[in-house]
């Protein structure tokens, strides 16, 4: 009997589902068995069901000025029970090293004194803020939430592509994807041992409360959003509602006596922890952009006085700098005394004259990316670029070598993705999310798989037209897949019960951070 994968041909990359044409990998066996009996009409019906679920729940995004349901592909990405622990360990290790680095940057600076990282990289970073030097968070955590972007290379090895410790977004899609898939394939979830993802809000709330000023017994937590016009407003709303905390804008806050209050109809209410989704530049007009109307004047002073915790901490962007990324393996050895579990993609810093000369001779064979870029913007994939683009790139790089990083092109792995002509290989990446409560770094099982929808496209960002897949981490046994163990903070509401505003400009969520190649 013919099935939908009869004509599927893997691309010239690592295929996550098939070892070779017609031979599936073991982890995908049950998924394949569930999909094969479906005819194209049934597949399309279920795909439309997924889109309707997203539309009904307001899970849309802004692409080219148009508000659309965020594309969720019908075919999940599966990680087996043996593979995930290594990824989890590698992400945790990286987050701990970055935490130590950030404490060093805004503290004693030992890594600079020992010559492992040049201080000039920090002093020339647009995201380094002297305003917060010497400011130590109550429980020492600066990166409460991290998103570590991974890719699988041509040999099937996971590698780190970049680190996101400012305001990594996209976790709302992880939870919405799972909800939509469980409604579309209820029988498949009943048979599979898949780790749940609905523990995230409880973990996040616990980490935020744990970071509160030391003299506060029952801290008040709030999510600070730029407002309804922000592309990630959907996520801000969802997380606030799932945690049962206030969603506030800058105009809802007031600072007095180095303390921050939420202005309510019953008067001022003190707030002790703010999970901000506003960039540093707009957070506090007293210290940064004086024209900002979306921040709160005095919020940094309140943090410095020890009366408020800002999550993630101001100034974390120095660790997102793509030049700093190249030093993370050495940071792991320096701070943790361990060998990196996950390798970087081969990268080349351009400040060495010999290296820049070598790179300029190979622009058509390398990937060049701006060190402080995001959302896939500004990346030039040499093998796909025309002569004019490469010449313009050459001039830009020569003028500002500090602003660029070169990498070996990597053909991201592919996962079968439903197209108008049936399943076809499409490139993917993976963003696991980690939450640090000061005692442990917890990694959400799976994370967000982003998929580039056009054939051969290597940029997977939603802002570039990408979509996503539900990411399944298979459990070794059924007990660990059924429910999380004792969530640290009971949630006032369940995920399925929460709805968010839909429609209207800016309600969509664009995943921040760059995805290269």
pLDDT in tens, 447-484: 999 999 888 887 777 666 689 999 999 987 655 554 44
Residues 6 or more apart in contact with residue 217 via CB below 8 angstroms: none
Higher-confidence residue of 48 and 138: namely 138
**pLDDT per residue as tens digits for the range 343-402:** 999 999 998 888 999 999 999 999 999 998 776 778 999 999 999 999 999 999 999 999
**pLDDT per residue as tens digits for the range 26-61:** 999 989 988 888 888 888 888 888 888 888 877 776
Label residue 492 exposed, middle or buried (CB < 10 Å: 0-12, 13-18, 19+). Answer: exposed
Label residue 262 exposed, middle or buried (CB < 10 Å: 0-12, 13-18, 19+). Answer: middle
Higher-confidence residue of 282 and 3: namely 282
Sign of torsion over alpha carbons 282, 516, 172, 202: negative
Q: Is the pLDDT of residue 490 over 80?
A: no
Measured CA to CA in angstroms, residue 425 lies from 74, 418, 428, 464, 469 at distances of: 13, 9, 10, 18, 13
Higher-confidence residue of 52 and 287: namely 287
Among the ranges given (65-74, 102-111, 183-192, 496-505), the one the predictor scored with the smallest mean pLDDT: 496-505
Asked if the 346-409 domain carries CATH number 3.30.1490.270, the reply is yes
Q: Is the pLDDT of residue 177 over 50?
A: yes
Measured CA to CA in angstroms, residue 269 lies from 256, 258, 277 at distances of: 12, 14, 20
Q: How far apart are CA 115 and CA 319, in angstroms?
A: 17
Higher-confidence residue of 77 and 502: namely 77
Q: What is the pLDDT of residue 517?
A: 34
Q: Is the pLDDT of residue 424 over 50?
A: yes
Q: What is the pLDDT of residue 504?
A: 33
Q: What is the pLDDT of residue 495?
A: 53
Q: Is the pLDDT of residue 109 over 60?
A: yes
> Are the C-beta atoms of residues 273 and 308 closer than 8 Å to each other?
yes
Q: What is the pLDDT of residue 500?
A: 52
Residues 6 or more apart in contact with residue 198 via CB below 8 angstroms: 175, 178, 484, 494, 495
Q: What is the pLDDT of residue 153?
A: 96
Tell me, letter by letter, the H, E, C secondary structure of 53-88. HHHHCCCEEEECCEEEECCECCCCEEECCCCHHHHH
Share of the chain above pLDDT 70, in %: 89
What is the DSSP code string of 443-504?
Answer: E-SS-EEEE--STT-----GGGT-EEE-EEEB-SSHHHHH--SS-SS--SS-GGG-----SS
Residue 410 DSSP one-character state: -
Q: What is the pTM of this model?
A: 0.90
Please compute the mean of the pLDDT values over residues 50-74 and round it to a whole number.
76
Q: What is the pLDDT of residue 487?
A: 40
Q: What is the pLDDT of residue 248?
A: 97
Q: What is the pLDDT of residue 488?
A: 41
Q: Is the pLDDT of residue 63 over 70?
A: no
Please compute the mean of the pLDDT values over residues 293-297 and round it to a whole number.
95
Q: Would you kindly state where each structural domain of the chain is located, as residue ranges? A: 346-409
Q: What is the pLDDT of residue 476?
A: 78
């Amino acid at each position: 009997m013919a099935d939908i994968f009869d004509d599927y041909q893997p691309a010239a990359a690592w295929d996550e589902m098939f070892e070779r044409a017609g031979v599936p990998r073991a982890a995908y066996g049950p998924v394949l068995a569930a999909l094969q009996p479906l005819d194209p009409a049934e597949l399309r019906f279920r795909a439309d069901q997924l889109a309707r679920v997203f539309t009904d729940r307001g899970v849309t995004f802004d692409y080219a000025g148009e508000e659309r349901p965020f594309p969720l592909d019908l075919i999940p990405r599966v990680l087996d029970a043996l593979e995930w622990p290594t990824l989890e360990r590698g992400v945790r290790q990286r987050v701990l090293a970055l935490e130590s680095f950030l404490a060093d940057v805004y503290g004693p600076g030992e890594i600079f004194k020992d010559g492992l990282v040049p201080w000039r990289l920090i002093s020339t970073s647009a995201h380094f803020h002297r305003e917060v030097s010497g400011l130590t968070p109550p429980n020492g955590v600066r990166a409460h939430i991290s998103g570590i972007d991974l890719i699988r290379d041509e040999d099937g090895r996971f590698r780190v592509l970049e680190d996101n410790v400012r305001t990594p977004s996209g976790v709302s899609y992880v939870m919405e994807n799972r909800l939509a898939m469980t409604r579309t394939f209820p029988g498949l979830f009943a048979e599979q041992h898949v780790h749940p993802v609905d523990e995230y809000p409880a973990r996040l709330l616990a980490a935020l409360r744990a970071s509160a000023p030391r003299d506060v017994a029952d801290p008040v937590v709030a999510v600070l959003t730029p407002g309804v016009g922000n592309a990630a407003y959907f996520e801000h709303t969802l997380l606030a509602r799932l945690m049962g905390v206030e969603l506030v804008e800058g105009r809802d806050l007031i600072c007095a006596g180095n303390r921050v209050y939420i202005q309510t109809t019953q008067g001022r209410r003190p707030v002790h922890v703010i999970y901000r989704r506003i960039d540093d530049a707009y957070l506090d007009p007293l210290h940064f952009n004086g024209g900002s109307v979306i921040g709160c004047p005095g919020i940094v002073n309140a943090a410095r006085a020890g009366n408020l915790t800002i999550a993630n901490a101001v100034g974390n962007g120095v660790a997102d700098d793509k030049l700093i990324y190249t030093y993370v393996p050495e940071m792991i050895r320096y701070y943790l005394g361990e060998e990196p579990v996950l390798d970087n993609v081969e990268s080349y810093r351009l400040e060495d004259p010999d290296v820049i000369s070598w790179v300029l001779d190979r622009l058509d064979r390398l990937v060049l990316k701006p060190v402080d870029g995001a959302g896939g913007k500004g990346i030039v994939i040499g093998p796909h670029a025309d002569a004019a683009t490469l010449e313009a790139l050459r001039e830009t790089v020569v003028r500002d070598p500090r602003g660029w990083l070169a990498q070996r092109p990597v053909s991201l792995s592919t996962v079968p993705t439903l197209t108008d002509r049936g399943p076809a290989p499409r490139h993917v990446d993976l963003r696991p999310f980690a939450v640090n409560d000061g005692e442990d770094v917890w990694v959400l099982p799976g994370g967000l798989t982003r998929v580039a929808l056009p054939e051969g496209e290597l940029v997977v960002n939603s802002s570039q037209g990408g979509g996503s897949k539900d990411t399944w981490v298979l459990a070794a046994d059924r007990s660990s897949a059924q429910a999380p163990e004792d969530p640290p903070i009971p949630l006032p509401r369940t995920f399925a019960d929460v709805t968010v505003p839909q429609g209207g400009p800016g309600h969509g969520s664009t995943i921040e951070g760059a995805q290269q190649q």
